[in-house]
Every structure is written in C-alpha cells, then in structure tokens.
Structure 1
C-alpha cells in the first residue's frame, strides 16, 4: 500500500503548474474509473497534435503501457510502472538515451504520465511480505484512466476536422472542374457573355490558394467559387431556355448550323474584306471560298504569336486561356471597355478576341487600335467581316518573310514551328493576296 506519493521530480528537473494540474486530475478521478489502455492509446495517437505529443514520445508511451500487465486499467489497481532506461530503449526500437529522456519530458508536459521519483531518482517497487506492492517509484499511468473521456472527445474532434477538410477539398475540386468546363461550353457554343472577364475572376480566386491551405481558407474560396458557379450556370441555363425546343426540323437545322452565331461559316454567305489586317476596307468575294469551319486555335496562335507573351503564364492551351490573354491585350492597346463590349456583342467572344489578337500582332502599323476595332465591328454588323482573312493575311506575311529559309513550300511558320498548311489552305492564302 502506498505510504507517500511524491509530487516533485528528482534532481534539477523543475516543477510546473501543468504537472500539478495533471496530478490533481489523476487524484480526483472516481474509484470506479476504468479504461482499456490500448483503446485510449489509439485516441491519444489520433489527437497527438492537439495534445502536443510527438511520434517518438508516443512510441515511448506505447512501451510504458506494455510494462503494465493488465489491458484494463482501473483507479483501484496499481498504475505505476518502473522500467529501467535500458528496458525502455529496447522496447522503443533502440532510441538513444538522450532521445528517451527528451521525449519522456514531453509525455510529462502533455499530462500523459506523471513522474513518481524516489529519493535517489531510481525506479523500483517495495513489496510487503505477502508480495503486494507497498511503494512504487517510476511513471504513473493514472492520467490514461483519468483523462480517457477527454482523449476520446479530442480524437472525435480530430476525425470530424479531417472529414470536414476532406469534404471541403472535394467541393473545391468539383467547383473548379465545373466552372472550367462551363466556361468552355460558353465559349464554344457562343453564349453571350464576357467569358474572358469571367475567366480572369476565376483565376484571381484560385491564385489565392497555396499549396497547403487550411480548411477555413478552402471553405472561403469555395464560397466565392460557388457564387461564380451560380452566375455562370444562370447564364448558360438562360441561354438554353431562349432556344425553342418545339421548332420545326428546318429551324433546328439552322440552330445547329449557327450555334456559334459568329463562326466563320456564316461569312461564306456575305461579302467580306480583303486584307483586314493591313487596314483595307475593300470588299472581296474571297470570303466565300474560306473553309466552312471555325479557326483552329493553333493556326490563330501561329498567326498571332505576340499574344503568347501577353498571357499570364505564357502558355495558351485552350480558348479560355486565349480569352484571358485578349483581356490583358485590350488594356495594353488602350481600347475602351465600350468598344470592346460592342465588338463582343456583334462578333462574339471568340471572334472578337481573334480580331484583337490580329490587331495586337500589327499594332506597330495601326495608329488607333480602338478606332480600328470599332471599324471592324461596324463591318461585322453588316456581314462584311470575317476573322479568316485577317489570320490568313498574317500567315501569308510570315510565309513571304521566311520563304528563302524554308525548304518546304507548304511550311507557313518559321523554322522549327509545328504548323503545316494543306494545299487547299495554301491556295486560299494566295487568293487573299492576289
């Protein structure tokens, strides 16, 4: 039976108020308290960050628990273990003595164990004639029993936080995927809207997301993305509602053909301009002979390579990147928001951005980019403008400049470029400049 319980550590180790509080908690636990040591240890391991414990200190705590023979710890049983440092080192996977002492102090500071030091600092137990322990000096495991409910609550709180963090990350991933794909739909289907500005707003929100973010920051960003998601969704749904689902077959055919009202295929039915990139306003019938498809992004970028340098990342892989770069170029050229808005409404988002890229490519030859864009907008309103001649004229200019250095007649871009032009497209290029 215990005759005296020491409360102060041996030697130069100082006493702290935290240790006094741990001892008071252990002393106040009810006599019927009982706990499964390995279950409590699992809770401590899950809540180690909240408790301030480390991986090494938990390895030592695991070793200390293994020295107690019983799996169930109760307030009425002997809860002090007295292994030597050599025994602890052996069961803690051979850590160094200095590491052992340091992490034993961590366990004491966290309130997971209590030191019961003997007068000379040795760990041992004094037994009676009947073999019962009268006095033991070592490490008291009573906090494992006294704080078992607290450890369980902390572990549940950690699990709840991990789940909330996982749900927030999943929501962030879904919002990012949905927004990017909806922007792509709006661009490709010619839905009216300032998609370049929408994309810039999205990129500005995402740029605040660090590599490792807290749950609160992720939830704040999710809230902003949710608002943007709702706005984009409303625009797309409103556009789909404007389409007449009960239209007859011929109306449906026209709708499919003109899903992008500013696509180059419409220009084949109306007059166009010859060499718009050079500023000429003369109408030409060459628009009728242009390909009946949208301009590929690769051809536009080969014709307007200066736009790549204006991009935030220097890489333009999708039309949404192209629109974001066009928004930056617009401010660099000094084009007013009203002129840019009118061009987008008349030409469409993508076609207006292509025209702006062509203007930026020839900015050294154009005195007023804003006035020139308004002129192109007026021609587009009358059905006399297409971006195909502008892009083809720029490609033809590159062909003429590098003709002496090119081994192939059909190579449009400079040496090392990936663009190869077909014979039919090359004939169209030649017609535009005749």
Structure 2
C-alpha cells in the first residue's frame, strides 16, 4: 500500500487541510493490521448519524467495497479501487450520476475514503511486468482500515444509546400512565387539593414530548414526570395521613371527655419542639422530609443559583448546598431560619427552597419571613416543593419560547 503521499483533487475540487490530514493518517496504520470489510461497513451503517452520512452514501460505500477483491482489508495490500462512474452507479442500484457524485463527496468529507486522482482525473491502474498492480488511481479505502476500531466503538455507542432510549421511553410511558390515572382518580373521587393545577402541569409536560425523541430529551422529560409522580403520591399520602390523624384525634377527644369532662386541654402545642416531642407517643407523628428532587431538574428550574457555586458551577449536591448557604446570606435569611428549614424539610430540600426563593426574588419582599412560612407549612404537612419547582420549570419553558 502506498503510504505517506498526498495527492490533490483533480479539476476544480478544492484541497483542504482536513483532506491532507486524512491522507497522511494512512501512513500510521499499524503494520500487518487487517479488518473484515463487511464488518466495517456494518459499523459505519450503525454509526451513520454520528458520521453524518445517509443511506445512499452507504449504498455507494457498499458498491466501492464490492470492487475490492478480498474480504479482508490488509495494511500491506493495495486498497485503491478504480471503477468508472457507470460501473459504480450500476452496483449502487442504478443511482443517478449527480447523486452518485454527491454521495462520493459525502464519504470523502466523512473521512471514510480518500480520492487518489490521476493527472487527467481518470481512474485506472498500471501493472508491473509480473502482472501485479504497481500504481492505481481511484478511491483509497485505507481510512476504513485505519479507523476500524474507532468505527466499531461508535457503533457500540449507538447501540447502547438505542437500548437506553428504549428503556427511557418505556419508563416514561409507565410513569405517564401512573400520573394520569392517579390524577383522574383523585379528581373523580373528590380528593382535597388543587388537582386541576397538577393536571395542567401534566398536560404541559406531555406537550413537551418531542415527536422524534432523543435520549437527552426523553431523559429530561422522564425526570420531570417522575418528579410530578412523586408530588402526586406525596399529596395522596398527606391526605391519607390527615384522615388517620383526624380519626385518632376524634377518638382521643372522646376518650378525654369521658375520662374528665371538666378538664380543659390545649390541643395545639405551644412550640415546634413540643410538637416534635409528642411525635413518639400516640399523638400526631412528625412527617418525614420528602426525598430531594433530581439535581438536573432543580438546576433547570433554578439556574441562577449556579452562579454561587464553586467556580460558578454546580456539579453535585454538595456544591448545591454550599451555594445555598451563600445565597442564604445574600438574601438576608438568618442562620436560625435556615436551620429550622433544614430540620423540617431536610438539608437538600431546604437548599432547593433557597434556590427557588432566589429565582423568585422579584416577587418576595422578605426572603427570611417567606422561608419561615414555608417551614411552618411543612411542619403542618401543608407544603411540598413539587408545585414550586414545576411552576419555575413552566415559567422557564415559556421564557425560552419567547426568546428563542
């Protein structure tokens, strides 16, 4: 195989530095390297979207490979094929001449073949006295051999992404079904709460599902749909807990009245600590903090807090919570107010609340008072971060549409 040489295209076709690099790369193929040409073609077919080639381009490449006599592409063999356009068009399923030339250019641009043009632009080969090909002009298949491992890895990545996309689509379908049926059940059975707003969030989220899904878009929608499902389940759990609490309270009140009808009792504890102390007895149990939402979803809803992360970037929950402490100080929230929020909501959710308050700063007069109100409502089981995050996501989507 001729290596280390660079030839420029015949006629008006321009020469680029990229073409020079691709031709020179053929000189770095490992000695003795081989690759099955049809396996390489299958890898190229699987990775065609990553390579930027189309089905017709693959048909042309298939035809070019058919002119190479051996199944193995070998480093020490002549890897130049020299069919005429008529011969090539016939093997490419009767492709029109203009279409053929366009897709040859696509293969060259993708770095899958290299042109080896003669002085007059014709494709041919000269043989030596022993009948072996000495010099050939046409299309060099060396890049396929040189990039065989790379193409195989690209094909594997595409197949892995397809499997992940299929799994994500299945999970989204199941999650979407669960949310829809739970909302419908809650509305039809008259459950307490603003279920219409939850349904509006669901409809808006479904409306954002693209017609042609990708792994990135499907994963993002799935995370938000799972967050909405968690919010629906949390609301239903709260309703069930409140129902049980009311039933227990009524039974306790009847028991107290029967035991000592002249006694008076203060049913509301005088402080949050007293309420928490009673949680271990037969009275009302203190509600456990809900699990934090996916970080990617939170950052999408609250992008401003990233400016306060280490180096202006938030890569994990540790960074997010560190940024929340800085924002807490910037907003003028007292350490005690933030500590109370951490105890009631959990550290991650308290940090999320700070991020949401920062995002809605123009609409909040006192960040500290607002956070204390959220803390009190959380302790009473009347507040969840889900609707706040969904509202910010919805507002961000509308802003993107207006500015896009």
Query: Scaled by the length of structure 2, what TM-score is found?
Result: 0.57
Contact 1:5 1:116 in 2 (8 A): no
1:31-430 aligned at under 5 Å gives the runs 31-240=31-240
Partner residue of 2:255?
Answer: none
Provide the alpha-carbon RMSD of the alignment: 2.3
Inter-partner Cα distance in structure 1 for 2:108 and 2:12:
15
Judge conservation of contact 1:79–1:141 (CA < 8 Å) in 2: yes
Q: Aligned equivalents of 1:2 and 1:236: distance in 2?
A: 73
Q: Distance in 1 between matches of 2:4 and 2:134?
A: 10
Deviation at 1:25, TM superposition (A): 1.5
Aligned-partner Cα distance in 2 for 1:236–1:80: 70
What is the CA deviation profile of residues 238-268 of structure 1, one whole-angstrom value per residue up to 9, with x for unaligned ones? 5456778xx9xxxxxxxxxxxxxxxxxxxxx
CA distance in 1, matches of 2:188, 2:74: 70
Q: Deviations over 1:200-232 (max 9, x none)?
A: 222232233343344323322222221221121
> Which protein has greater RCO, CA pairs closer than 8 Å, 6+ apart?
1
Structure 1, unpaired ranges of 5+: 248-434
State whether residues 3 and 135 of structure 1, in contact with CA within 8 Å, keep that contact through their aligned partners in structure 2: no
2:205–2:225 CA contact under 8 A, matched in 1: yes
**More divergent stretch after superposition (62-71 vs 124-133):** 124-133
- C-alpha change, 1:209 and 1:2, in structure 2 (3 Å) is closer
Structure showing greater Rg: 1
Three-state SS of the structure 1 residue aligned to 2:125 is strand
The verdict on how the C-alpha distance between 1:5 and 1:228 changes in structure 2, with shifts beyond 3 A counting, is closer
Q: Counterparts of 1:53 and 1:211 in 2: how far apart (Å)? A: 22
CA contact (8 A) 1:126 1:134 kept: yes
Deviation of the 1:165 alpha carbon: 2.2
The gaps in structure 2 that reach 5 residues or longer are 248-404
C-alpha distance in structure 1 between counterparts of 2:212 and 2:5, whole Å = 47
Contact 2:205 2:221 in 1 (8 A): yes
> 1:2, 1:134 within 8 Å by CA — same for their partners in 2?
no
